[in-house]
Amino acid sequence: MALLNAKTLRDVRKCVEKYCANYAGGVCILHESPCDYYGKYGHSVSCDYFEQAVLPNEPLLQKAYEEAHGIINAEKEAVKYNVGKCAKCGEAFIKRSNRAKYCGACHAVKQREHNRNYMRKKRSS
Ligand SMILES: [Zn+2]
């Protein structure tokens, strides 16, 4: 299955030549074999070293590459942030603390209710 289109693969190869420390004249020093991206399946291989150490040098290419490989950013974000479900409206939201139960909008409403109750109690006592 081809993942990268011809242009992206061409750019990947350029990126390998330019930045990959293991690339020497078409051969990967690390794997002691021809660089995977130059092989027959270059458009669908996945080299860990390339993805982690070489690709970040070219942010635009990295984006195209990750999209083609189905490495979706939303997935990464979900891991990075703690995504919770609002206890009031059920909307997904990013938790800023582990105790957060409500989304931004509901939190504001709750806060207002809380303040109102507090003021009422204060006045009646
Ligand atoms: Zn909510």
Q: Whole-model pTM? A: 0.56
Q: How far is the CA of 108 from the centre of ligand 1 (A)?
A: 9
Closest CA to 11 of 51, 44, 74, 55: 55
Q: Is the dihedral of CA 47, 48, 53, 59 positive or negative?
A: positive
Q: How far is the CA of 113 from the centre of ligand 1 (A)?
A: 14
Q: How far is the CA of 84 from the centre of ligand 1 (A)?
A: 10
CA distance 119 to 13: 67
What are the pLDDT digits (tens) for 57-89?
Answer: 999 999 999 888 886 555 555 556 678 899 999
CB neighbourhood size of 75 (10 A): 10
